[in-house]
Structure 1
Amino acid sequence: MELFGKTVCVIGAGIGGLTAALALRRLGAKVCVLEQAEAITEVGAGLQVSPNGIAVLRALGLEGALSARAVRARAVELRDYAAGQLVSHLDLSLLDGEAPYYFVHRADLITCLADAVRAADVKVLLLQKVNTVVPGARPKVILSNGAEMKPDLVVGADGLHSRLRPVLNGTIAPFFTRQVAWRTTVPNTIGHGPVAQVHMGPHRHMVSYPLRGGERVNIVAVQEQVGWSEEGWQIADDPDTLRRVFADFGGDARALLSEVTDVRKWGLFRHPVAPVWHKGNCALLGDSAHPTLPFMAQGAVMAMEDAWVLGDALQKAATIEDGLSQYQTRREMRTARVVAAASKNAWKYHLSNTPIRKIAHLGLRVASAVAPKKMMGQFDWIYRHDVTQS
């Protein structure tokens, strides 16, 4: 289908929305992005962009812009919580021949995408709060101020609280996973190298990796907890509370936690993958379609993959609806598998002080020493998948 001249409204100027805007604009569509905030910003967090995400950025001409802002990852290290003793070393250089793996501040990736979107003559409208969407041959986007837009295609890339998702699927309440997480960044006073360290403790774990040329360190710490009521990313917490929860963590973990001056806490909720991704020239993308827990570091990357496949499917189809149908067919099994893998991953880091924990850690040590390529190979289905070549 010829996309030249087709009008597209993308709801949400996050990573998925901006990538979709860029992917559709390069195919000739006239794209407008609606963002309810007063500026395109994302603060306070890092993320990991694995080779399957870099493949999309490379195809969009942005790999160089990202690499200039990011730290190239060399390894993932699993460590015991008490003294930081190394349990397993996963060498990311074994992915040689594929796209590289990067650690990047979320705000830096957003800036990279936003600059490219504006350079491509995509309109980005701020302070635009969407009230609802009406699917149809010419769908309507109704804003909270009463204004309406009638593009050829609407893309809902507005995350967990999407305005389009309930229109297509009804309202399905998420359930609390009995896990809460803290996130923050601190100065890199310990000389944290270009590795992701996962400190594994009873019912808790902490991930750290460098950002911004190694000047900062990103921290995500997770604890199992029975109750939680509020779902959100920007709930302020006392740094001393974080330190108290992880007081028995030693090594680099303790040193990093001593540097925390500002921290945000959120409850981890599980949202089901949406059964309906499209209807009436409207489509869901990223977290609005398949929210994922952070334990595989694939949330942002899955949104970027979605964006590329959406454009490719539309270009190859006879009609918008045919393209959207093919988009869901090509994406739903993969994203569901990633969501399931992330949901199952946390327990591996949270084993209690029992013989099972000791046996599990011994197995990891032996496997990473004896068969490092096999250890990395378990992730081939994620990292070696290149949506730009399909």
Structure 2
Amino acid sequence: MDEILIIGGGIGGLTLALALEKAGVPSRIYEAAAEIRQIGVGINVLPYATEVLAGLGLEPALAERAIATREAAYFSRSGALIHREPVGRFAGLDAPQFSIHRADLVDVLLGAVCERLGADRITLGARCVGARQTADGVTADLVDRRSGAPLPPATGAALVGCDGIHSTIRALFYPDEAPPRYSGVFMWRGVSRGPRLLTGASMVRAGVTSVGKMVVYPIKDLDDGRQLLNWVAELDLPDSASGFTRDRDWNKTGDVADFAHVYADWRFDWLDVPAMIRDAEIVLRFPMMDRDPVDRWSFGRITLLGDAAHPIVPLGSNGAGQAILDARALADSLSLAPPKAAFLAYERNRLPATTTLVMSDRAGVPDERLRAAHALEAAS
């Protein structure tokens, strides 16, 4: 089979290249950025996704860099314990749950792609601006990201858009689609060095977005006995003409002055939140958003994957995980059928499940336990 063109070298695109390589299907990645790297914050990789990565032979490399999460712990805004439960292998599952620096995850994926496929299978600085199909192939139109000058077009058997929530490939088929939908919740993400958190492998969710919610988990053990803590502050924030919530840049630098006051009294015996915020090494801000699900991803020899297909509110640690599941499903389909048929099989497999998940996270289902506890505490 001629190679599959992968547009986007993020977590989904890199995982797809590895899954295709395992299935014996050649591919090539085209990434708009001049280098593949991630801004320094963390990510939680749920067991269903680590199972896929383990199947690609990546578990040992990930385990060296990640924290194998032991438990999910839920607390009220006052710091009172609501519930705790084991996760991953500590809950008897076959795969671990990994909390890891996003840059480390991408580095493991990128290293494996370069080793197994070759570094020459990745073209950097090439932004895809369009794609055209023929009876037996597809052509991607590329430009230099910095100058805008045309680059030689790329040709292949098929094309997969892994280019995120602002996908150029998706826009080819949905040119009149509305901008991403703001959920009404704004988040600030950061990393800080601090004391060990609870078990040293706990994922904490505390509070609710109406009065301030905080997600905290360690992503690395440090040599001095402390940990690198990843945290996400979430707060209801109405959209406004100021553009604060309309600036949909995932890597926009944030200012702690915009939200630190909400957590000024969050000093618990298990975590000093104001100190953690104050000691942040980096703070990024982003409006939590998604898109309405569509009823079709695949158009002949072109399909979508990850946030290009089903952008989801980043609430239940599902964004990257679902892209990883997409990658395995798509590679499996391409190992059994030519692109057009494979893409339709992949869509039948993955579209219903992701649609359900997008709507579930939009409704805030992962936070139901926190909201119920907050209501009880407020009424007491």
TM-score, normalising length from structure 2? Answer: 0.87
Question: C-alpha separation between the residues in 2 aligned to 1:199 and 1:7?
Answer: 47
Offset of residue 314 of structure 1: 1.6
Q: Verify the 8 A CA contact 2:312 2:319 in the aligned structure 1.
A: yes
Q: Name the structure 2 match of 1:315.
A: 335
Q: Verify the 8 A CA contact 2:183 2:313 in the aligned structure 1.
A: no
Q: Name the structure 1 match of 2:246.
A: 229
Q: Name the structure 2 match of 1:384.
A: none
1:7-53 deviations in Å (ceiling 9; x for gaps)? 11111110000000111122222211111111110112211111111
Offset of residue 351 of structure 1: 4.1
Change beyond 3 A, Cα 1:242–1:260: farther
Q: State yes or no: 1:336 paired with 2:336.
A: no
Q: State yes or no: 1:238 paired with 2:236.
A: no
Q: Cα RMSD over matched residues?
A: 2.2
Q: Verify the 8 A CA contact 1:136 1:279 in the aligned structure 2.
A: no
Question: C-alpha separation between the residues in 1 aligned to 2:249 and 2:278?
Answer: 25
Q: Name the structure 2 match of 1:172.
A: 177
Higher relative helix content = 1
Higher relative strand content = 2
Higher relative contact order (CA 8 A, sep 6+): 1
- Higher alpha-carbon deviation: 289-298 or 212-221: 212-221
- Higher alpha-carbon deviation: 42-51 or 324-333: 42-51
- Quick one: which amino acid aligns to residue 263 of structure 2? F
SS in 2 for 1:34: strand
Question: C-alpha separation between the residues in 2 aligned to 1:202 and 1:32?
Answer: 41
Q: State yes or no: 1:327 paired with 2:335.
A: no
Change beyond 3 A, Cα 1:336–1:343: same
Q: Verify the 8 A CA contact 1:34 1:128 in the aligned structure 2.
A: yes
Offset of residue 180 of structure 1: 0.5
Q: Name the structure 1 match of 2:242.
A: none
- Quick one: which amino acid aligns to residue 139 of structure 2? K
Offset of residue 199 of structure 1: 1.3
Change beyond 3 A, Cα 1:35–1:8: same
Question: C-alpha separation between the residues in 2 aligned to 1:288 and 1:226?
Answer: 26
Q: For 1:195-206, what aligned pairs fall within 5 Å after superposition?
A: 195-201=202-208, 203=210, 204-206=212-214
Which of 295, 309, 314 aligns to 1:275? It is 295
Q: Verify the 8 A CA contact 2:72 2:203 in the aligned structure 1.
A: yes
- Higher alpha-carbon deviation: 289-298 or 89-98: 89-98
- Quick one: which amino acid aligns to residue 162 of structure 1? S
Q: Verify the 8 A CA contact 2:76 2:370 in the aligned structure 1.
A: no
Q: Name the structure 1 match of 2:44.
A: 48
Q: Name the structure 2 match of 1:184.
A: 190
**Where do 5+ consecutive residues of structure 1 fail to align?**
363-390
Offset of residue 72 of structure 1: 0.4
Offset of residue 129 of structure 1: 1.1
Q: Name the structure 2 match of 1:366.
A: none
SS in 2 for 1:150: strand
Q: Verify the 8 A CA contact 2:215 2:233 in the aligned structure 1.
A: yes
TM-score, normalising length from structure 1? Answer: 0.85
Q: For 1:350-365, what aligned pairs fall within 5 Å after superposition?
A: 351=371, 356-358=375-377
- Quick one: which amino acid aligns to residue 207 of structure 1? V
Q: Name the structure 1 match of 2:86.
A: 91
Q: State yes or no: 1:153 paired with 2:158.
A: yes
When the two structures are aligned, how many residues end up with a matched partner? 354
Q: For 1:1-390, what aligned pairs fall within 5 Å after superposition?
A: 5-82=1-78, 84-92=79-87, 95-122=91-118, 123-137=121-135, 138-144=137-143, 145-146=149-150, 147-173=152-178, 174-191=180-197, 193-201=200-208, 203=210, 204-213=212-221, 215-227=227-239, 228-251=245-268, 252=271, 253-317=273-337, 319-345=338-364, 348=368, 351=371, 356-358=375-377
1:42-93 deviations in Å (ceiling 9; x for gaps)? 11221111111111111111111111110000001111122x2211112225
Question: C-alpha separation between the residues in 2 aligned to 1:260 and 1:242?
Answer: 13
Q: Verify the 8 A CA contact 2:19 2:327 in the aligned structure 1.
A: yes
Question: C-alpha separation between the residues in 1 aligned to 2:231 and 2:66?
Answer: 16
SS in 1 for 2:54: helix
- Quick one: which amino acid aligns to residue 217 of structure 2? Y
Q: Verify the 8 A CA contact 2:138 2:159 in the aligned structure 1.
A: yes
**Overall identity of the aligned pairs, in %:** 27
Offset of residue 350 of structure 1: 6.8
Question: C-alpha separation between the residues in 1 aligned to 2:202 and 2:51?
Answer: 21
Change beyond 3 A, Cα 1:99–1:350: closer
SS in 2 for 1:277: coil
Question: C-alpha separation between the residues in 2 aligned to 1:301 and 1:60?
Answer: 15
Change beyond 3 A, Cα 1:217–1:31: same
